[in-house]
Amino acid sequence: MHRRLATGLAASALTLVTVVGTATAANAAPADKAQVLASWTQTSASSYNLWVAARGNQAAWAAYGFDWSTDLCSSSPDNPLGFPFSTSCARHDFGYRNYKAAGTFSANKSRIDSAFYEDLKRVCAGYGGATRTTCNSTAWTYYQAVKAFG
């Protein structure tokens, strides 16, 4: 009788461990989450474009548990002097929020800030003459602010 009860309890415990283990594995982010995050937070235009595409199809990335929330350019204008900086600010927020959640923010802050500046300069590259100069000056100011206070 005791042997049958012990066997039954052991089988129940094994089933419970299997169910809990499977549920935990199903809820865990894919193993390449850090690599995907890194690929979307580089200084290159291709990294920016990959992130923009993913942002437009967030449902496809739901298993990764990324934080897509943003306050855009925080307390600064999102489109200063008419320059469309809001998407660059959103990608910057994405990097900050997700690296903080991963516990690796300090190691990545400088690169995220540099990527932000490169994104802003790419916006400015679409202008010419004095307008480009003004845009680049504004981009520099935004970069210095996140570098110091971000």
Residue by residue, pLDDT tens for the chain (150 residues) are 444 444 444 444 444 433 334 334 446 678 999 999 999 999 999 999 999 999 999 999 999 999 999 999 998 988 999 999 999 999 999 999 999 999 999 999 999 999 999 999 999 999 999 999 999 999 999 999 999 988
d(CA 130, CA 98): 36
pLDDT at 109: 97
Residue ranges per domain, the chain?
A: 1-30, 31-149
d(CA 129, CA 144): 23
C-alpha separations of 133 from 33, 123, 127, 129, 137 in Å:
38, 12, 9, 7, 6
d(CA 111, CA 95): 9
pLDDT at 30: 87
d(CA 25, CA 30): 9
At the topology level, CATH places domain 31-149 in Phospholipase A2 (1.20.90)
End-to-end CA distance of the chain: 67
The set of long-range contacts for 32-36, using a CB threshold of 8 Å and a minimum separation of 24, is: 33/64, 33/65, 33/102, 34/102, 34/104, 36/61, 36/64
Respond yes or no: is residue 2 known to be catalytic. no
pLDDT at 86: 96
Q: Which of 40, 92, 93, 143 is an active site residue? A: 92
Q: What are phi and psi of 74, to 5 degrees?
A: 55, -120
Type of residue at 66: F
**In the numeric block, which tokens belong to residue 150?**
């971000």
